[in-house]
Amino acid sequence: MLTARPGAFIDAALTAPHAFTPDSWRVGSLTFNHSAPGIISIQPDVAKVSRCVVLSSGIHGDETAPIELIDRLLADILSEQFIPNVPLLLIIGHAEAIKAHTRFIENNLNRLFGGWNEEKNEEHYLANQLQTAVSDFFAAQPDDMTRWHLDLHSAIRESYHYMFGVIPTTPTARDVRPMAALLNDAKMDATVLSQSPSPTFSWYSANHHGALAATLEMGRVAPLFENDMREYEPLDRTLRGLLKAATLPTELAPMRFYRVTRTLTKHTDQFALTFPSSAKNFTPFEQGALLATDQGQEIYAEHEGEVVIFPNANVHVGHRAGLLATPFEPTVNQPIYVHAPQKASA
C-alpha cells in the first residue's frame, strides 16, 4: 500500500519491475489498484459524475513537472484531502528515462501508441503496457461515461506560448470545445488542433477509445524536484475540477487557437531546417519563406504567419520533424471539429 507521503508514487514508479508486487487497498470510499510501478487506478464506490479520466506523465523522462503534479495529486487523494468523484487512472510512464533524466532511451515513446509493438526494447514494451492499462481502465467503466485523457508533458524548447495543448485528430467529427474550454480554464496560452494521425498517447485514447484527449505542454523541462510548481497551480486546480465537478468550464477566451496545416516529415538523412534549431515554438514565417530541404525537395511557408511547432531535425527518418500551423478565431457558439478533413469526391 502506498503511503500519502509526497514522492511515494514517484519512488514506486522508479522501482525495478522485478522488485514490484501489485497491490490493492481501500481508503474511505475509494479502491486503489496499483497494477505496475507507475500505474495506479482509483475507483469510487459510486461515481457521482459520469466521466472517467486518465492523467499521464513521464512519457518523456526529462519532462518532470507533470510527474510532480501527478504525485502530489495522488498524495492528496491517499490522505483524503481530495476525494475524486470519478474513476481515475494515474500514470508515471518511463522510469528508466526518468532516472537517466533523458527524453528516451532508444525510441521516442510518444511515437509508439499506434497499436501493438514488437517488444524490441524498453520503449516498445512500455507502449504496449500503457496501451493495455488504458484499454483495461476504460473497459471497466460504464459505456455511457465520457472518457477523458490528458497526457502531460513539458517543452524542450522556448515558446511564444509558454503552456499549450495539442488536441489529436480523430477519424470522425467531434466537437472539442469541452476540452478547449478546460485548457482555457487551466490558463493554457494556446490550443493546437492537429489534422493528421500521429501515434501519440493522447491520439491512442482519442482514436481507440473515443476519449476527449489532449497533449499538454507545461512550461520547460527541469530536473526532478527542481520545478517551480507554483506555475502549474491553475492547471492543478482545473484538473481537480475535472475529477470532482458535475459541470465543467465553457469559456474559450482569451486562449489562442491554431490549426495544423502540414506535418514536416524527415524522409531522408539529408533533411535540414533552414532556421536555427533553437527557434521557439510558434515562430511565424512570411508566406513563401523556405523552411526545410530534404534531398532536393524544398518546403516553403504556404500561408502568411504560418508558425512552426516542435521543430527538430534530429529525429529518426520517417518521423515528424515539426508541425506547421496557422492561427484562427473559433466561433464560440459553433462546434470546433478537429478530425482530418475529407477530400471532396470528383
In a domain, 249, yes or no: no
Is 346 among the domain residues?
A: no
Q: Tell whether 46 and 136 lie within a shared domain.
A: yes
Last residue of a domain, one of 202, 218, 244: 244
What pLDDT was estimated at residue 340?
52
* 60 known member of a binding site: yes
Burial class from Cβ neighbours inside 10 Å (0-12, 13-18, 19+) for residue 254 reads exposed
Say if residues 39 and 56 touch (Cβ distance below 8 Å). no
Number of domains in the chain: 2
Q: At what angle do helices 177-185 and 233-244 cross, to 10 degrees?
A: 130
Is 267 annotated to bind ligand? no
Give the domain range for residue 15: 8-244
94, 192: one domain: yes
Q: Does 345 fall in a domain?
A: no
Per-residue confidence (pLDDT) for residue 196, from 0 to 100: 84
Digitized pLDDT (tens) for each residue of the chain, 346 residues in all: 899 999 999 999 999 888 999 999 999 999 999 999 999 999 999 999 999 999 999 999 999 999 999 999 999 999 999 999 999 999 999 999 999 999 999 999 999 999 999 999 999 999 999 999 999 999 999 999 999 999 999 988 899 999 999 999 998 888 999 999 999 999 999 999 998 888 999 999 999 999 999 999 998 899 999 999 999 999 999 999 999 999 999 999 999 999 999 989 999 999 999 998 789 999 999 999 999 999 989 999 999 999 999 999 989 898 889 999 999 999 889 999 987 544 333 2
Residue 167 resides in a domain: yes
pLDDT at 319: 86
pLDDT at 345: 30
Same structural domain, 234 and 167 = yes
Among residues 214, 244, 274, the one where a domain terminates is 244
Task: State whether 226 and 283 are in the same domain.
Answer: no
Domain membership flag for residue 54? yes
Q: Do 194 and 74 fall within a single domain?
A: yes
* Active-site residue list: 217
Could you tell me if residue 338 is inside a domain? no
One domain for residues 109 and 204 = yes
Say if residue 158 is in the same domain as residue 230.
yes
| One domain for residues 163 and 137 | yes
pLDDT at residue 5 in the model? 95
The whole-number pLDDT of residue 171 equals: 85
101 known member of a binding site: no
Number of H helices, E strands in the chain: 7, 16
Q: Are residues 170 and 234 in the same domain?
A: yes
Contact in structure between 243 and 53 (CB atoms under 8 Å):
yes
Which residues touch 115 (CB under 8 Å, ≥6 apart)?
131, 199
> Are 18 and 156 found together in one domain?
yes
